[in-house]
Amino acid sequence: MVPTKWFIERKPFGSKSIAFRPKPSLGLSAATRWRPKGPFRLFGLPPELRAEILNFALLNCEEQVQVLQIFLASRRLYTEAAAIFYHDIWLDITDRTEPPGLLAELTAPLSPRLHVRTMDLKIYPKNNLRSFNEVYVPLLREMAEQGGLHTLHLEINGRFPRLDFWTDHWSDDDEFCETEIPLLIGPETNIEYLGPAFLAAQPFQAFLDFLSDPRIPKVALYTSSADHYQFWCDCHRKLSSKLGLPCSGGSWRGKSKRLKVNQKHLLRLFRSARAVQISAAVTSARVSGASTRNA
């Protein structure tokens, strides 16, 4: 019996043989090769791709004045663009006596400050005569509750415990800050300590409450090394020991212009601090301050 032979028909690869395929035209421009079939729909793109486009347009373009017009296109586009443009904000208000426009304007659904995620705020108490607790703390808490503020880097330069920084009036009398009185500090307020009178005062205690406010997850406090009060030494002892730059008696021997405060240690030592006795000079300063506020 003769075996059956199977014949396989060989066909060219694809619709035509490779040798006879037309070569792509390399001389045509991109506009000629691709033509849009309709309006470009930005919101038809994935969110990740839209974020890349907005990030490049807002942060990497030299003509930002023209690019910022995209904020006027629609509410949805404003929300996505503002979340990128105002994500990280650095404010130096050392020469201002009032909050800047970003913080001073009335709250609205499209307020730029509600889109701030990380803020670096630099304050100089000698010039910022308004009380931090009464002006800035409510604004920062609002940005965390109604907006997206997550991280705050607060740098206070100059005379940190200045009287007009803690209260709502101005005074040339620094007895409130300079005078040292016996205090009881520590977790159980049973440690005797000689320190500035303002440590036991309500404005400073309210400031300590703000540093531990859970509404702002991450708060970092920095202070100037030029006007370094002695009580700060106990709040960055680990840092000075690690760098081999000891500080004693309120003098900082390092080259750093600002020091990061160990907030846990600060709160553990001075939260709920109370005065054992108050000197007559400090008492008169408080009475004069109260009369100034009532005037």
pLDDT of residue 220: 92
Q: Kindly report the pTM of this predicted structure.
A: 0.71
Identify any residues that bridge with 224 across adjacent strands, giving them in sequence order: 258
Residue ranges of E strands in the chain: 88-92, 118-123, 151-156, 180-185, 191-196, 218-224, 247-248, 251-252, 258-260, 274-275
Token duo for residue 28: 């045509």
Residue 155 exposed, middle or buried by CB count within 10 Å (0-12, 13-18, 19+):
buried
pLDDT of residue 150: 94
Rounded Cα distance, 281 and 243, in Å: 39
Q: Is residue 163 within 8 Å of residue 174, measured between CB atoms?
A: yes
Rounded Cα distance, 25 and 149, in Å: 53
pLDDT of residue 126: 64
CA 18 to chain centre: 61
pLDDT of residue 149: 94
Residue 295 exposed, middle or buried by CB count within 10 Å (0-12, 13-18, 19+):
exposed
Rounded Cα distance, 182 and 230, in Å: 14
Among residues 251, 229, 226, 252, the alpha carbon closest in space to that of 178 is found at: 229
pLDDT of residue 239: 54
pLDDT of residue 134: 80
Coil, helix or strand for 222?
strand
Q: How many CB atoms lie within 10 A of CB 85?
A: 22
Question: Scanning the structure block, which residue is given the tokens 């421009």?
Answer: 29
Tell me the average confidence (pLDDT) per consecutive run of 10 residues in the chain, 295 residues long.
54 52 57 69 88 85 70 89 91 79 81 93 70 84 92 80 58 62 88 85 86 91 78 68 60 76 89 74 42 38
What b/e sequence results for 218-235 when a residue is b if at least 16 CB atoms lie within 10 Å of its CB, and e otherwise?
ebebbbbbebbbebbbbb
Q: Is residue 107 within 8 Å of residue 142, measured between CB atoms?
A: yes
Among residues 103, 53, 102, the alpha carbon closest in space to that of 80 is found at: 53
